[in-house]
Structure 1
Amino acid sequence: MSTVIPKSKMSEEDIKLQYITPAIIAKWDRGKIAMEKSAQITEGKINLKGNLVFREKPKRADYILYLNANNPIAIVEAKDNKHSISYGLQQAMTYAKMLDLPFAYSSNGDGFAEHDFLTGKERQFKLDEFPTEAELITRFKEESGMTPTQEAVIEQPYYSSQNTYPPRYYQRIAINRTVDAIAKGQNRLLLVMATGTGKTYTAFQIVYRMLQSGLKRKILYLADRNILVDQSIQQDFAPLEKVIHKINVSKDDKNTITSHEVYFSLYQQLVGDDDKEHFSELFTPEFFDLIIVDECHRGSAKEESRWRRILEYFSSATQIGMTATPKETKYISNLSYFGEPVYMYSLKEGIEDGFLAPFKVINIMTDIGEGWRPRKGQRDIYGNEIEDRIYTNSDYDYNIIIEDRIQQVASEITSYLKSTDRMAKTIVFCATEDAAERMRQALVNLNADMVKENPDYVVRITGSDDYGKKKLKYFISVSESYPVIATTSKLLSTGADCKMTKLIVLDEMIGSMTEFKQIIGRGTRLREKEGKTYFVVMDFRNVTRLFADPDWDGPIMIDPGFIPGRQTTPPTSGSDDPPGPIDPPELGNPKPVVSRDGCKVEIIHKTVSVYDVNGKLLRQESIVDYTKENIRGEYASLDNFIRHWSKEEKKEKIREMLLERGIDLELMKSEQNMSDVDDFDFICHVAFDKKPLTRKERANNVKKKDFFSKYSGIAREVLESLLDKYMNTGIYEIEKTEILKLDPFQKLGKPAKIAGYFGGKAGYMQAVKELEEAIYADEAV
């Protein structure tokens, strides 16, 4: 091959075009080669830098080669000719392991290096010796010991349509490993996939391929909540609607129920409250050949659970447990029943890959969090004397109700939403259903303007609240605006697919890592088109101490605008069980209720916990600290900053520099109620503790100095108008000549005519510079 550019001078793209691509397409069907955008593996992690949100670059292979539409088989990484043939092999191997592929290759245009994961061997060969499609597939089948049944199943396609997205890489691995294990005869399988990563979609594709291949013909999908069943039938399993039946033990006839292929049921129906095994009345033990247990962490493998009775009755069926949290408590029960997971995809991986939303944590402490003791003889609102002891976060709403505490929590939630987005879907997890109602009332009164527009702005959604339960489908809907805030106890902790949840408030005690992860999972779904790129966890009970648990695996991002205080000593979390009420009152007696006069509550600290991706505490800081550190890193002293500000012809360059570092001054000023302060003053205030002036104060100082006396007529009118513009919008606008095209300048003529009153454009720019000097005259150094 003769080329204009020597190979040693070619870019990586040139090497691919001239050498690597021709070598591969000479041996492979073009339809089985993915390149560029189609070889993208991840979405790219969403990062929260300072108070900005941005995506990192996605991971993308140079080439992915496919056995068929379901199954990629090899990765090829390209490098330019300045590198050796095998230089990119470790990168190719990393991607191949990530994608669960048997072969990895690298090339620099001189030849190929190969790593075979099935044999552990490596080799190098010439460009024209790249293995053909048939050769590589034959090697794969022989080296992996594939059976005819596995071959038949592997050829079955995924379900695809215009309304169905192709599986993401981790979903494909989960589906393929499960299907392959079933084809090999494995009868107990466990899939662990973080909340929000598409467990139900993955289950649907497994079921679809099982039915298409004929390997399974009667399938039971078990869940423990009606909403889970209905969501699955209506959404992911919709393509199979003609063969689906939702079991109703009170109406189904055992003689006619057998005509369907996919059955959905609540385990509570199959084993009723009467403890009757209704499943045995409807089905023979051999009826189902595949059972999928959704959210199996909640009891499917506990020895005495109703789940277990169903599974043991249908013991001949292949059984798949699906969960986001494989450990229920200290008893690793579902692992002992289903076995080690065939595949695990964690919350950490989901966030790192950019498929799940990252989150920020605000830890808020009240002055009674660590303890409140009633005065001697103090009585509650019922006139009953309050027991004399120290009450803590484990008591509030469980054993005693402090009205002002509820008010303060509601006030913090309201303030946050007002400073960000009052229509942001919010779940407030409360201690009890009664606490959820009290919180609802407090939030209604604090948000009366929004409730006036729609009475469903705040709704209690709990197990005993029929009105709230009817509103659940609207709350979790992406297209429905109301309800906005849901107060709940346990109902929304699992199962409910709240895609648009932007704020999760923890105002209950949680001791179980399983429950904690499930609650956090309510916010992990990404909806970028609808404006959700991350979510916030607001913790009033120090529940987020569980992030320090070795079982936690998700990163926490810094939250802007909350100033850190002292770190409190977290309670030990040696037990897997949630802490119960302390000395609960006798049945029939109401909990003591302390009026707002009886106990005044204050918020004393708002801390930000910043962790790495493994949940290790790195530091505590706020966006103010982050900003201070960056400004002082750029400008060593106040004088140094003032000099740079004065010399900079376009002050906006300083703002742009800070934006690149994740610092949005306008947002920060808004959050601290300092929008009327000049950026100059705000920077001096944050970084150098200097008292800020408002823009109005600076403008008035200019007027007092009689700056305009040397100008007259139209020129003076223009500069006075520029000063008014500065007072209203800031320094950056008056630096732009485009401002002369706007009111009130427009009535004075075109920009060129206005500049003429100053002797031309240079004269106008000089006058603006002098105006700026007058604005910051007191700061000159």
Structure 2
Amino acid sequence: MTPETKARQRIDDKLEQAGWVVQDMRQLNLAASQGVAVREHPTDTGPADYVLFVDRVACGVIEAKKDTAGANLTVAEAQTARYATAVLKWRKDTAPLPFLFEATGEIIRFTDGRDPAPRSREIFHFFKPDTLADWLAQPTTLRRRLAEHMPALLERNLRNCQVSAVTGLEKSLALNKPRALVHMATGAGKTFTAITAIYRLLKYGGAKRILFLVDTRNLGKQAHQEFMAYTPPDDGRTFTELYNVQRLSSPTIDQGAKVCISTIQRMYSILSGEPIDESAEDVSLAEVRQTAQQNKVVRYNPAVPVESFDFIVIDECHRSIYNTWKQVLDYFDASLIGLTATPDKRTFGFFNENIVAEYTYEQSVADGVNVGYDVYEIATEITQKGAELKAREWVDHRDRQTRKKRWSETEEDTAYTGRELDRSVVNVSQIRQVIQAMKTAVETQIFPTRQETPKTLIFAKTDSHADDIIQIVREVYGQGNAFCKKVTYRAEEDADSILSSFRNDYHPRIAVTVDMIATGTDVKPLEVLLFMRDVRSKGYYEQMKGRGVRSLDADSLKRVSNSADSAKTRFVLIDAVGVEKSLKTESRPLEKKPGVPLKDLLQGVAMGHRDDDTVLSLANRLVRLAKQLDDKAQTRIEKASGGVPVAELGKALIVAIDPDAVVQTALATAKAQGITRSEDSLLPEELEAARAQRVATACAPFDQPALRDEIENARREREQIIDHINLDQITFSGFSEQAEAQAKSVIQTFADYLRQHKDEIAALGFFYQQPYQRRALNFDMIEDLHERLARPPLMLTTERLWSAYARVQAHQVKGADRKRQLTDLVSLVRFTLGLDGAGAELRPFADEVDKRFQAWIFRHNAQAPTAFTPEQMDWLRLMKDHIASSCSISREDFDYAELANKGGLQRVWQVFSNELDGLMDEMNRELVA
């Protein structure tokens, strides 16, 4: 067959798969099916390759080209348009045919002539006849509605960043841009924004169905809950009362569903025919090791045609839409809308650099949507330097998975580094020292006024590491099981119920996780993140930090943390492993076959499986294994391989399939055969032969059973040594240089604000005016100043300011561990303005009032003919305490409880008579100035 005949045959097959009956002109029977594709239909400009009839009406044309022309299909668009506007023999209507296709056996391009500025696009497969019938029945196309019929956005209940995101997205869709990226900081309401846009696309755009794509089942549940809670601004009903939302849990898509929520794993399974492992939906594809990996390519599925969705919203699009999984997005003829808080270069490239909204973490903190954070560092000697167990020491040996222990001697001296902690060696003292240092820091420096442990999330290296941490946390804090829980996919209790309790209830106070709530999960009361694992991916690290950034109002925070006395204003990242300083990469390499055991990869290569995925997976596994093995295991493998280290075995596999190296080998082979070739002129079979040659050489060592056995045995050596002999000690515990710089910035911002606004805020006028107008300062003025400072973008609460000074000028700051009072703002202003002179200390306002009160009483008793009586002193102390909490005292204040309970104004007048007003003025002047 000629190339064109082969292409026609494949086009016929694809049309038939989509439900079309393909006929030659001489066998024309338009009653044969709803959709009939007629080959070589005559027109006044010559026969069209295919004319499409739906319900007996001509509506489209296909221009067929041979496969070799696939890369240049756009040059055939003019030819397709000519046939679409030509006069078809026996056709009464002379209007142009609206649906235009160009196709080879491999590629199909489509143009809807009714769109504004019709533009062709590549599609995976032909549309079904009933789809074209539906489109013909509509007065306008989807793209025309997006460009011309979308009403103005109702901004009620939307943040400014959400308004910008929805309007930016709709402008992009109106211009028919196929991909759009919404970059919004964690906590800014990406899902709410997406649902707002989806609602408008359904109601005003007339979208048929929208796919909301996630990469873990947990994120799917969370999204479904937000759809159920969403009430649009122009309708009193919830989204799910207006539109059917299906969370996909089977291969069948509900035809009545307007929104379908699915993991990308499940959709891939439906389209590839690869059965899905249910646990695969619990693990993010790109950030943690996958539990299963499919190798089949996506095929056309008539039950889920390419036109099933008009739009695909991709949640957390920075991590799950590349490599194999991208086939899901290539399959559907849908506009792609990405949502992420942490895009990388790969993300920007995939979405054609079409960033329709950008709302950074820094902007979200300035707006009060999110909170800032401080970094507190904990370093231990063993974390940094490792340790050594001498030979013949009696220690526990524990199986990593079963956790079964045996008590035995070490066979030889065993040195380990900090990187090996909690993998090959567990040092209980190291974990205990870190947890104890965290407890001390939180209680004395970070949140000194709290009566309960703030909600804390600990990131562990492995599930076994998480178990060790939990036991030690409970021991160090002296608490029971409810205090600290594990939230991972392997937790004994239901992970969702633990997560719900962690979010909404008093217990647990501390949660330990490996990956489940590392990304995408909303736990607003979190105020402490402890990293006991390093992270190499920049994006993943930002996502993990994002668990703590969510803002929370005072009442909501108080419901789970009783002693919290204000809204959540910050969180603290405690770095126990140097995660803040370690080198980060833009993206993490993907394992091609993480669900395939190493022994099966080895056996497969030995049996002749040499595809790229198998070779790369084995290579990655060997390179990773090389980093985990001790010298003894390395030597055994090297001996079995004929002197090649295990890491080199892996690297050789990677190099073997390097495309550039394959080309060079092919050129060298051709030259050796006396054939002159350029890179562009190499034949596919020559490249394949060169690749096969290189891969065969790299795979040759694995033909030896002894080598395969040694590698597998090394992998199975997974016992951990429990080091209870080397005791660890803290080498540093304190805020990082970054945190100190942030504290200095807070202080400078405060000082600048005082200077810039001294003329417009009454309380500042009191401090700046000379001489002091002492009686002018009152509680309302201080409260007004605090409200101005605490609101975004400053977020300068009294507690945050005091903590900043304690960090930068600790030797001059007193009472940092005390609960802050609003009147402490008086002390902060005086200290910042230097009103008490150089070297003065920053003391709580109540302490300063106490000090001044003692001096005033001493002066009064020394000057007056008679000292105050005991009852008068009792009243003066009560009045002093009121001034300490309110900045001043007047007659009206005796109605307050502390003073009223002693008899109020009537009794105090009896005690002091006409001297009362003078005493109050004197105390206001002497104690507050």
TM-score (norm 2): 0.51
1:228-253 Cα distance to aligned partner (Å, 9 max, x none): 2122222236514652222223xx5x
CA distance in 2, matches of 1:150, 1:417: 54
**SS state of the match for residue 378, structure 2?**
strand
CA distance in 2, matches of 1:727, 1:441: 49
Report the counterpart of residue 244 of structure 1 in structure 2.
245
Report the counterpart of residue 889 of structure 2 in structure 1.
736
CA contact (8 A) 1:708 1:716 kept: no
Change beyond 3 A, Cα 1:240–1:388: same
Report the counterpart of residue 309 of structure 1 in structure 2.
327
Report the counterpart of residue 197 of structure 1 in structure 2.
188
Is residue 774 of structure 2 the alignment partner of residue 606 of structure 1? no
Tell me how far 1:512 sits from its aligned partner. 1.4
Quick one: which of 839, 842, 867 aligns to 1:688?
A: 839
Change beyond 3 A, Cα 1:609–1:726: farther
CA distance in 1, matches of 2:382, 2:586: 21
Is residue 404 of structure 2 the alignment partner of residue 404 of structure 1? no
Matches within 5 A, 1:343-354: 343-348=356-361, 350-351=363-364, 354=367
CA distance in 1, matches of 2:223, 2:735: 40
Report the counterpart of residue 260 of structure 2 in structure 1.
263
Tell me how far 1:337 sits from its aligned partner. 3.5
Matches within 5 A, 1:375-524: 377=390, 381-382=395-396, 389=415, 391-392=417-418, 394-400=419-425, 401=427, 402-412=430-440, 414-415=442-443, 416-417=446-447, 419-420=449-450, 422=452, 424-448=454-478, 456-467=482-493, 469-475=495-501, 477=503, 480-524=505-549
CA contact (8 A) 2:882 2:889 kept: no
Change beyond 3 A, Cα 1:621–1:541: farther
CA contact (8 A) 2:308 2:332 kept: no
Quick one: which of 672, 675, 678 aligns to 2:817?
A: 672
**SS state of the match for residue 236, structure 1?**
helix
Task: Give unpaired runs (5+ residues) of structure 2.
Answer: 1-115, 118-139, 229-237, 270-275, 278-291, 397-407, 558-566, 590-622, 631-713, 757-768, 790-795, 804-813
Is residue 573 of structure 2 the alignment partner of residue 538 of structure 1? yes
CA distance in 2, matches of 1:499, 1:770: 44
CA contact (8 A) 1:373 1:389 kept: yes
| Rg larger for | 2
Is residue 187 of structure 2 the alignment partner of residue 188 of structure 1? no
CA contact (8 A) 1:426 1:484 kept: yes
CA distance in 1, matches of 2:722, 2:582: 26
Task: Give unpaired runs (5+ residues) of structure 1.
Answer: 1-140, 546-569, 612-617, 634-643, 777-781
Residue identity in the other structure for 1:688: G
Change beyond 3 A, Cα 1:649–1:589: same
Report the counterpart of residue 212 of structure 2 in structure 1.
221
Residue identity in the other structure for 2:452: R
Tell me how far 1:473 sits from its aligned partner. 4.8
Residue identity in the other structure for 1:598: L
CA contact (8 A) 2:460 2:513 kept: yes
CA contact (8 A) 1:363 1:609 kept: no
Residue identity in the other structure for 1:762: G
**SS state of the match for residue 591, structure 1?**
strand
Matches within 5 A, 1:10-159: 152-153=145-146, 154-157=148-151
Residue identity in the other structure for 1:175: V
CA distance in 1, matches of 2:728, 2:802: 35
The structure showing larger relative contact order (alpha-carbon pairs under 8 Å, at least 6 residues apart) is 1
CA distance in 2, matches of 1:419, 1:463: 35
Q: CA RMSD in A?
A: 5.3
CA distance in 1, matches of 2:306, 2:885: 76
Change beyond 3 A, Cα 1:423–1:731: closer
CA contact (8 A) 2:894 2:904 kept: no
1:353-405 Cα distance to aligned partner (Å, 9 max, x none): 6162131213223243872343673958526659665734x444445432333
CA contact (8 A) 1:368 1:601 kept: yes
Report the counterpart of residue 375 of structure 2 in structure 1.
362
CA contact (8 A) 1:651 1:731 kept: no
TM-score (norm 1): 0.59
CA contact (8 A) 1:610 1:620 kept: yes
Tell me how far 1:344 sits from its aligned partner. 3.1
CA distance in 2, matches of 1:410, 1:648: 46
Tell me how far 1:603 sits from its aligned partner. 4.1
Tell me how far 1:469 sits from its aligned partner. 0.7
CA distance in 1, matches of 2:841, 2:310: 73
CA contact (8 A) 2:380 2:732 kept: yes
Q: Which has the higher helix share?
A: 2
CA distance in 1, matches of 2:736, 2:536: 21
Is residue 866 of structure 2 the alignment partner of residue 716 of structure 1? no
For this pair of structures, how many residues does the alignment match? Answer: 570
